[in-house]
Chain A
Amino acid sequence: MWLFYHKLGSPKYFYSLAGKLIPWFGWLTLALIVAGLYGGLILAPSDYQQGESYRIIYLHVPAAWMSLFIYMVMATCGAIGLIWKMKMADVIASSSAPIGAAFTFLALVTGSLWGKPMWGTYWVWDARLTSELILLFLYLGFMGLQAAIDDKRSAANACAVLALVGVVNIPIIHYSVEWWNTLHQGTTVMRTDKKTMDTSMLIPLLTMAVAFKLYYATVLMMRARNEVLDRERDTSWVKELAAEA
């Protein structure tokens, strides 16, 4: 295990391992998205209150989950990079930010498109929506800070601190629907007291959630590989790769 950990910390080893994994993850992601969409758009019945409009849920909820999950990955890797000076942790953190921002953007846009027919408005300054918007700004701030500092080491440190401070927003987003009386509805999936969602709707939703997780893993590896190439451009193995390209 320790050997594996050390190997993974080596950029060259990571580069070749990720290169082998990307096609597998990519095809599996695609297969799950197709299955999830088939289940969600074709097999699942329409909602008794919201009609067909509820079908936005198959994008909205998984995207929102990912926006929180990726932030936690980013902040955790930031902390690891800060404490143990592990290069690969910095790479994972900085490569995660644009993907997290994309999912946050999607959660907001699909939510907005769902809000218009159901609530009668695209946007309302309610606790859930506002805290999710702040999450988007945290991601964008992280990316801006990253781009503004030339030295990779100090950029990673500054970004890690920003990410860790921003973690305070995560429980706020999660519990916002309970703490405040919001327009946004409470959770339907992660509850133990009673079943609120039919299996025919729940299965495609969970399939899409897994698909988005794998999508994140795939794109993360692609981005991290580029970051490794860029950081290691003066090493002999990258030069050999470039010469063959």
Chain B
Amino acid sequence: MNEFFHMGGYAFFVWMSYGISAVVLLANVITPVMRKKEILQTLKRKLRREQS
């Protein structure tokens, strides 16, 4: 197991690559989810204002 994380001495380069990729790919999923909520909430508030 330790050997696996050690990556034959290239641990920093290999795990940095995988770490940065994971962060970027996850961020690209989270951003549109939050954006959707934001759009619908803004619209909802606007609709309420128009009704009252």
Contacts and interface: CB of A to CB of B under 8 A. Distances in A.
Contact of B39 (A215, A229, A239): A229
Given A60-B17, A106-B20, A243-B47, A219 B8 contact: no
Given A51-B9, A53-B7, A223 B32 contact: yes
Given A113-B13, A222-B32, A105 B44 contact: no
A226 interface: yes
A229 B40 CA distance: 8
Contact of A52 (B14, B29, B39, B44): B14
Q: Indicate the size class of the contact surface on chain A.
A: 35 or more
A245 B41 CA distance: 7
Contacts of A52: 7-10, 14
B35 A117 contact: no
Contacts of A46: 8
A116 interface: yes
A106 B27 CA distance: 13
Contacts of B17: 56, 59-60, 109-110, 113-114
B49 interface: no
Contacts of B28: 98-99, 102, 219
A243 B29 contact: no
Nearest to A220: B32
Contacts of A63: 21
A114 B39 contact: no
A241 B47 CA distance: 11
Contacts of A56: 13-14, 17
A83 interface: no
A102 B18 CA distance: 14
B1 to A, nearest CB: 11
Interface of B: 4, 7-10, 13-14, 16-18, 20-21, 24-25, 27-29, 32-33, 35-37, 39-41, 43-44, 47
Top-3 shortest CB links A-B = A52-B8, A242-B43, A53-B10
Given A113-B16, A233-B39, 8 more contacts: A52-B8, A99-B28, A218-B29, A226-B35, A239-B47, A243-B44, A243-B47, A245-B44
